[in-house]
Amino acid sequence: MKILVTGGSGLVGKAIQSLVENDENDYLFLDRKMCDLTDYSKTLQVFEDYCPDQVIHLAAYVGGLYKNMNYKAEMFENNMLINMNVLKASHICNCQKVICCLSTCIFPNKTNYPIDETMLHNGPPHYSNDAYAYAKRMLEIQCKIYREQHGKNFICVIPTNIYGENDNFSLEDGHVIPSLIYKCYLCKQKNEPFVVRGSGNPLRQFIYSLDLAKLILIVLKDYKYNESIILSVSEKDEVSIKEVATIIANKYNYVEHMVFDESYSDGQYKKTADNTKLLTFLRNEDIDFQFTNIREGIEKTIDWFIWNYNEVRK
């Protein structure tokens, strides 16, 4: 079986690589140096050359809260091009199954909680990431269209906030956990206050990248349904940004220097996701799966960040 993974050098792509080193399948982990997925002719050429049986589509133009707010045109246009090109090439090359990665941040801003898979299009997303969200929502629509018109097995997984080794630790463009890991590291080096943007009150469900990689491979192999599926820890495992920052500061022995700058936007207060469909699927397939505890996952990520400091994205 030939399996093509877009975004192969990213956070989740690297996690999948670590899991399939001795796999019997043939994997191609595609990165931006190998192909510009915003260019359809280049995308199609890669697909025709490799002839994948299955595709895990992880590639996206992404960033943290402030990149989402400040580069909306690029967020929308690049993601629309990437998604349309990958799915069209998958169709042309007769791929048997395609799994596309969305995000719970694309759900409506005003909604009932917890959110489930049926609620994705029930209202506008939060203004802070609306460009990214609408582009990702269209990916779910495009999968649906290919299923209806061409009978394709194209589906979407919807993970909550992802973190882990091989993340982008940029202070401005990274997501909250990696950027705080890097920021606290620098603050301790310089003996400066560890300033966390916002109040610290917003709540999030975080999933460790290796956990998500395992779940994606399970879905690729065993999930036989057409509907999108949320890949998330349970609601009881939701944590505040303040709790996350405290775990990070404690790992560095720097918690007494942590302060919150409430002049910055908090973004959406909560995005609580319902993982009932996932838990039911795992139980029905008799799959024993345990999520990594948030403290353990963050501490492992910090250890990796420090060990690989000179090579990490930042």
pLDDT in tens, 1-41: 999 999 999 999 999 999 998 888 999 999 999 999 999 99
75: domain CATH number?
A: 3.40.50.720
32 in any annotated domain = yes
Residue pair 140/120 in contact (Cβ under 8 Å)? The answer is yes
191 in any annotated domain = no
**Domain span at 142:** 2-164+204-234+269-292
Q: How many domains does the chain have?
A: 1
d(CA 63, CA 197): 16
d(CA 101, CA 82): 12
Characterize the bridge pairing of strands 194-197 and 258-261.
Answer: parallel
| DSSP-based three-state secondary structure for 279 | helix
- Write out pLDDT tens, residues 34-71: 999 999 999 999 999 999 999 999 999 876 665 766 77
| DSSP-based three-state secondary structure for 26 | strand
139 in any annotated domain = yes
Annotated catalytic residues are 132
Q: What is the pLDDT of residue 313?
A: 87
Whether residue 266 has pLDDT greater than 90 = no
- Write out pLDDT tens, residues 150-204: 999 999 999 999 999 999 998 877 789 999 999 999 999 999 999 999 999 999 9
21 in any annotated domain = yes
190 in any annotated domain = no
Structure tokens, 128 = 């802070």
Least reliable range by pLDDT among 65-69, 87-91, 246-250, 307-311: 65-69
- At 267, the pLDDT band (50, 70, 90 cuts) reads confident
Q: What is the pLDDT of residue 64?
A: 66
Q: Where are the alpha helices (DSSP H) in 118-167?
A: 130-150
Q: What is the pLDDT of residue 68?
A: 65
